[in-house]
Amino acid sequence: MLRLPTFTYLQARSLADALRMKADAGPDGMFVAGGTDLYPNMKRRHQEPRTVISLMGIPELGQVERWNVGTCVTLSTLSNLPSFQLSHSAVTTAARLVSTPLLRNMGTLGGNLCLDTRCNYYNQSYEWRKAIDFCMKKDGAICWVAPSSPRCWAVSSSDIAPVMVAIGAEYRLVGPQGERVVPAGRFYHNDGINYLTKQPDEILAEVRLPAPDGWDAVYHKLRRRGSFDFPVLGVAAWVKWNGKKVADARIVLGGVASWPQEIPEAAAVLKDAALSDDIIESAADAAYRPSKPMDNTDFDLSWRKQMTRVYVTRALEELRTR
């Protein structure tokens, strides 16, 4: 059985409290929300904070005000918000597709959007990783997926992040220097190690969803076990309608890169067109080409690449029928 290391657990009651605790703890401190990602990672010694600062006791992070969602709202709550099921169904669908009910009861929106990137050579016990001499994401020097690569290719595996990028949500960050608001698309780096643009001492406090005004979005997920698994491919598709035609669009893929990967080539095909069979086929083809999954998650990578075409087609067909 994997055991947690010894650490100090602090419970912040306000954002100011949490920032002060983090400043006191320095680089050895980390924030935690539901802990469904951080605690398993600590058991495998991926992250080794000496001080863990819980954000769950900060009232404002648990609130939902119109389209602004506090980041400690659990995935169960988010997926069951009746108003959001109508107005932002891609968000509630993605939240509902995360893992199991137990994990959704604990896991939060903020933790999901900051989720560590994943790789078959990394999500292993300390002893397993030691046996292969570790890798550059933690404790080692080489990438076992691409040994001549100077970078880590661990995969963005959040279900909700691609949806946030696709719909153009904004994130409010609170840190020692004050507050800033960033578009979801600028919160992520395509780098398996430095996968967030957020500083370690910044708290993701709130997610601002766009008001529902003439756009629609859907999310489709590929995984081995429908009841449980991380996405090996996620497709978030957003369109702004102009009558029956698409005025603007965004297609974002999860599970194929170290960030939610926007595919502007596919969006360009959709712009100013109706979602006919031909247009959907061309957009799916445009998404297929830049989709380059690596051999570090479940399933055969060439099959996962082919599934990009299938899942983009399904997502756009769903948008056409709504």
Ligand X SMILES: Cc1cc2nc3c(=O)[nH]c(=O)nc-3n(C[C@H](O)[C@H](O)[C@H](O)COP(=O)(O)OP(=O)(O)OC[C@H]3O[C@@H](n4cnc5c(N)ncnc54)[C@H](O)[C@@H]3O)c2cc1C
Of residues 135 and 235, the one with the C-beta less far from ligand SF4: 135
- Range 103-140 burial, b when 16+ CB lie within 10 A, else e: bbebbbbbbbbbbbbbbebbbbeeeebeeeebbbbbeb
Please identify which residue in the block is written with the tokens 């830049």.
Answer: 290
Q: Which does 98 bind (CB under 5 to 8 A by kind): ligand X, ligand SF4, none?
A: ligand X
CA dihedral in degrees (126, 132, 135, 139; nearest 10)? Answer: 50
Of residues 46 and 309, the one with the C-beta less far from ligand SF4: 46
The helix/strand/coil state of 100 is coil
Of 31, 153, 215, 288, the residue at the interface with ligand SF4 (CB under 6 A) is: 153
Q: How far is residue 90's CA from residue 136's CA, in Å, rounded to a whole number?
A: 35
Q: Which does 42 bind (CB under 5 to 8 A by kind): ligand SF4, ligand X, none?
A: none
Q: Measuring CA to CA, how many Å separate 91 from each of 84, 235, 249? A: 8, 12, 17
Q: What are phi and psi of 300, to 5 degrees?
A: -70, 135
Q: How many residues bind ligand SF4 (CB under 6 A)?
A: 14
Of residues 23 and 274, the one with the C-beta less far from ligand X: 23
Segment interacting with ligand SF4, rule: CB under 6 A, options 12-20, 145-153, 244-252, 311-319: 145-153
In the chain, where does DSSP find H-type helix? 15-25, 38-43, 75-79, 82-87, 89-96, 101-106, 109-113, 126-131, 160-167, 264-270, 277-288, 301-320
Q: Which does 152 bind (CB under 5 to 8 A by kind): ligand SF4, ligand X, none?
A: ligand SF4
Contact between 257 and ligand SF4 by CB under 6 A: the answer reads no
Q: How far is the CB of 58 from ligand X (least distance, A)?
A: 9
Segment interacting with ligand SF4, rule: CB under 6 A, options 36-44, 80-88, 139-147, 299-307: 139-147
Q: Which does 235 bind (CB under 5 to 8 A by kind): ligand SF4, ligand X, none?
A: none
Q: Are 182 and 173 in contact (CB under 8 A)?
A: yes
Size (the chain), residues: 322
Of residues 112 and 291, the one with the C-beta less far from ligand X: 112
Contact between 41 and ligand SF4 by CB under 6 A: the answer reads no
Contact between 154 and ligand SF4 by CB under 6 A: the answer reads yes
List residues binding ligand X (CB under 6 A): 30-38, 40, 55, 71, 75, 98-99, 103, 106-108, 110-112, 114-115, 157-159, 203-204, 229-230
Q: Are 265 and 287 in contact (CB under 8 A)?
A: yes
Q: How far is residue 57's CA from residue 53's CA, in Å, rounded to a whole number?
A: 10
Contact between 115 and ligand SF4 by CB under 6 A: the answer reads no
Q: Which residues make up the interface to ligand SF4 (CB under 6 A)?
A: 119, 121-122, 135-137, 143-145, 152-154, 192, 296
